[in-house]
Structure 1
Amino acid sequence: MTLTTDPVALDAWYAVATASEVTHRPDRTRLLGQDIAIDRCRDTGAIRVRPVLHGGEYGDPLPVIERYACVFTTFGNPDTPIVEIEEAGEPDRRVVPCGWFTIRSSGPRIVENFLDMAHFPYVHTDILGSEPNTDVGPYRAEIRADVDEVWATGCHFWQPRGAATERDGSGMMMHIDYRVPSPFIVMLYRVAPSAPDRRDAIALFIQPMGEELCRAQPVEFLVDEISTHTELLHFEQVIFLQDRLILENQVPRRLPLDGQAEIPTRADTASVAYRRWLAAKGLGYGTILPHGQGERA
């Protein structure tokens, strides 16, 4: 595989490692088709990310920013900074990296799945949904031009156990807002069950290794003084492993951006906005662009 030439994909920030796990021994992974090595410099202790060239030599270091417990890098020149998550700066928040998952799917498909509430009762039964509470009520999805993000607000769904703190299975109507600040980052905000006047934030950082192969890590910013670290990890990992089974069986794995390629329903309002946003950007990496809109890089 070789590094993509897709300018939209190149000019983005990507989480590629958990900062606390980086050691002096280079760990190899892949980003946008290019092998990279991540390690901590023995002299300075700084984390560095370097392309792995033919013959195993390293290229010039890429830009590195440590944020949200992750290591971010880019191959291009992003015109926007890494997403700002205000909740991360609140001192009583628990910041929980939930581990990396490898998925044979495209990054945009993973984002779309994250936005989809309709699958909750069938894929995450008795956790994020259950029958007969299967209806997705009306909500608002929009492309916010002033910040260049996709938002879905006013979402609500009955969840038997919408958070790790909910253990008795009695369920509650969960109010959720979704945010897509970057083609390969997606977030949700939900009312914190243990602090109804505040919201938990959960980000999913996606590392596109190839067009149809990704790693992804959920990072949670929680108001939760009850759950143990293990309980939080287990809750999120069970959900993500259930999603992986669905994602790896979707055909095609790349996300079609032509509005006629896959017929949406009312529940897909967020997905429609996300696809329109990607099409307007001209992202070809991990997508199927509308006919005549350019070639896949």
Structure 2
Amino acid sequence: MKTDSESTLAEDWLVAASSDKLSAKRSLHTKVLGKEVILTRDASGRPCANVRNGPRDQDISPIFVCERYRMIWIAFQKPMKPLFDIAEFGQAGRRIIPCGSIGVNTSGLRVVENFLDMAHLPYVHSGWLGKEPHSEVKEYRVTLNPDVDELWATNCRFWQPKAAPSAADGFEVEYTYRVMQPFVTMLYKSSPARPGYFDFVLLCVQPQTEEQCLVHSLLGYFDDVSSDAELISFMQLIFGQDKPILESQLPKRMPLDPRTEVPTRADAMSIAYRRWLHDKGVTYGVHR
């Protein structure tokens, strides 16, 4: 079952679909790590997952599956640890809004790295998440939590003209980035609607192949003004600006060779992420 390309990821939870895409009436065929995965729900509504190992209908075998954070997660072998915890997910007054899935023709690792990059905000998302001359990436702190093997970037601050649909004016936004798994990351950002609190954006990348992925996103916002449609539209607008940039990057797979890194302050989280992937032995979606 385990192949060279999957050896590090086979025992990790990987997103396979949004919960709302899996109905009780029909199976859902999708792809994860180049393998066909078949998702269904049993009579009680719980998700079930199988992987196809050959061309015949009987060439399928069950794999591990769970449903959490409005998404379906699978693991090809017994997971090394439980799925990460998001303590804020059930916080009173916080709206949880799935924002759908967008296909991107690039390595899923590049999508995660782009999400962590503040330096591109004034140029790719000008007028929304950044604007010249407010282009400086101020010094921030990157740490590895060894207890849960997660990367964190804290004390990130960036001026944004329209940080969220509810933002009336531009202001300096505080960010905290968190990378829980190679293909899963999230950020906490200052909430315009509730000062002193943080909204969050969860980004779960489904690696279909080494150069194709589906990006599932979910918002956890304090916002009593904007409709679900307005919040989803905002998220899709921002990611729609990233998509052509991501698909134009060459090579499509992520380079992990240290000689390709540029050790500047703005790249601190990107460098840490690449080193973290290298130390974990991730090879799927990596440029070799």
Residue 206 (structure 2) aligns with: 207
Q: Choose 259-268 or 192-201, whichever is displaced more.
A: 259-268
Q: How does 1:231-270 map to 2 (within 5 A)?
A: 231-270=230-269
Which residue in 2 is equivalent to 1:292?
Answer: none
Q: Residues 47-76 of structure 1, C-alpha deviation per residue, up to 9 Å, x if partnerless?
A: 222213413446222222111111111112
Asked whether the equivalents of residues 254 and 285 of structure 2 are also in contact (C-alpha less than 8 Å), the reply is: yes
Match in the other structure for 1:11: 11
The superposition leaves residues 258-279 of structure 1 with CA deviations (integer Å, 9 ceiling, x where unpaired) of 1112424220000011111111
Distance 2:223 2:77 in 1: 37
Distance 1:20 1:209, change over 3 A: same
Match of 1:288 in 2: 287
Aligned partner letter, 2:249:
Q
1:16-66 deviation per Cα after TM superposition (whole angstroms, max 9, x unaligned)? 11212312212211000101122223x333222221341344622222211
| 1:75-94 matches, cutoff 5 A | 75-94=76-95
Aligned pairs, number: 285
Structural mapping, 1:39-58, within 5 Å: 39-41=40-42, 43-52=43-52, 53-57=54-58
- Do 1:4 and 1:33's aligned partners in 2 also have CA atoms closer than 8 Å? no
**CA–CA distance in structure 1, aligned partners of residues 273 and 138 of structure 2:** 19
Tell me the distance in 1 between the aligned counterparts of 2:209 and 2:110. Answer: 13
Between the aligned partners of 1:160 and 1:72, the Cα distance in structure 2 is 36
Quick one: structure 1 residues 3 and 22, their matched pair in 2 at CA, closer, same or farther if it must change by over 3 Å?
farther
Q: Which residue of 2 is the match for residue 277 of structure 1?
A: 276
Distance of 2:131 and 2:3 partners within structure 1:
43
Alignment match, 1:229: 228
Matched letter for residue 134 of structure 1? S
1:124/1:242 contact within 8 Å kept? yes
1:32 and 2:33 are equivalent in the alignment: yes
Q: Distance in 2 between matches of 1:252 and 1:159?
A: 30
CA gap of 1:243–1:264, structure 2 versus 1, over 3 A, is farther
Q: How far apart, in 2, do the equivalents of 1:50 and 1:146 lie?
A: 31
Any unmatched runs of 5+ in structure 2? none
Cα distance in 2 for residues equivalent to 1:281 and 1:288? 15
Structure 1 gaps, min length 5: 290-297
Paired letter, 1:214: C
Q: Provide the alpha-carbon RMSD of the alignment.
A: 1.6
Query: Partner residue of 1:188?
Result: 187
Map of 1:168-179 to 2, 5 A cutoff? 168=168, 170-179=169-178
Which residue of structure 2 aligns with residue 294 of structure 1?
Answer: none
Contact 1:93–1:223 (8 Å) recurs in 2: yes
Alignment partners' CA distance in 2, 1:47 and 1:285: 26
Q: Note if 1:71 corresponds to 2:72.
A: yes
- Percent of paired sites with the same residue: 40
Q: In the aligned structure 1, how far is the partner of 2:58 from the partner of 2:203?
A: 32
Shift of 1:94: 0.8
Q: Within the alignment, does 1:96 sit opposite 2:97 as a pair?
A: yes
Q: Distance in 2 between matches of 1:192 and 1:248?
A: 31
State the alpha-carbon separation in 1 of the partners of residues 57 and 93 from structure 2: 44
- Per the alignment, residue 295 of structure 1 pairs with none
Extract structure 1 runs of 4+ deviating beyond 2 A: 2-6, 43-46, 55-58, 262-265
Counterparts of 2:142 and 2:259 in 1: how far apart (Å)? 19
CA distance in 1, matches of 2:31, 2:190: 36
Q: Give TM-score scaled by structure 1 length.
A: 0.91
- Contact persistence 1:18–1:71 (CA under 8 A): yes
How far off is 1:181 after superposition?
0.9
Query: Hey, what's the Cα distance between the residues in 2 that align with 1:45 and 1:82?
Result: 20
Equivalent residues of 2:63, 2:77 under 8 A apart: no
The whole-number CA distance in structure 2 between the counterparts of 1:14 and 1:187 is 15
Amino acid across the alignment from 2:92: P
Q: TM-score, normalised by structure 2?
A: 0.94
Contact 1:3 1:32 in 2 (8 A): no
> Counterparts of 1:267 and 1:219 in 2: how far apart (Å)?
26
Contact 1:189 1:199 survives alignment (8 Å): yes
**Secondary structure of the structure 2 residue equivalent to 1:196:** coil
